[in-house]
Amino acid sequence: MKRLIAGIVVVGLVAVALATPTPAYAHHRGHFFGGLAVGAVTGLVVGSIFAPRVYAAPPVYQPAPVYVEPAPVYVQPAPVYVAPPPPVVYQPAPVYVQPAPVYVRPAPVCSDYWAGGYWQRVCR
């Protein structure tokens, strides 16, 4: 494993030393997303090589169950209370009084008549 890591590091250093850098441009050439995708794939490949192996934790066992006897329960019956009967109250019978009748005189009915060259009002 150490030889593999050392070989990758040496190949990377040689590639960096032999590569001729190009000048940087401040304008967009349309290669941003392609470079992002290549960088992501390269990161996944190289990262999976250098990543540590998955560590499997040892199993954890639960302790044996312990039986605990419950405390004794004492039950006493509840006391019984009887309410006394309600007191007897004597009341006289109710007296109903009918109100006196109210008489309302109806409004008069008036009519106008033409009689002998003038109007005459007659009310009943």
Q: What is the pLDDT of residues 49-98, one digit of tens each?
A: 877 777 777 888 888 888 888 888 888 888 888 888 888 888 888 888 88
Question: Is 87 inside a domain boundary?
Answer: no
Question: Is 123 inside a domain boundary?
Answer: no
Question: Is 61 inside a domain boundary?
Answer: no
Question: Is 21 inside a domain boundary?
Answer: no
Question: Is 77 inside a domain boundary?
Answer: no
For residue 118, the SS3 value is strand
The count of domains in the chain is 1
Question: Is 40 inside a domain boundary?
Answer: yes
Q: Which residue has the tokens 């199993």?
A: 59
Question: Is 47 inside a domain boundary?
Answer: yes
Let me know: does 70 contact 86? Beta carbons within 8 Å.
no
Domain hosting residue 46, numbered range = 1-14+33-51
Average pLDDT, the chain: 81
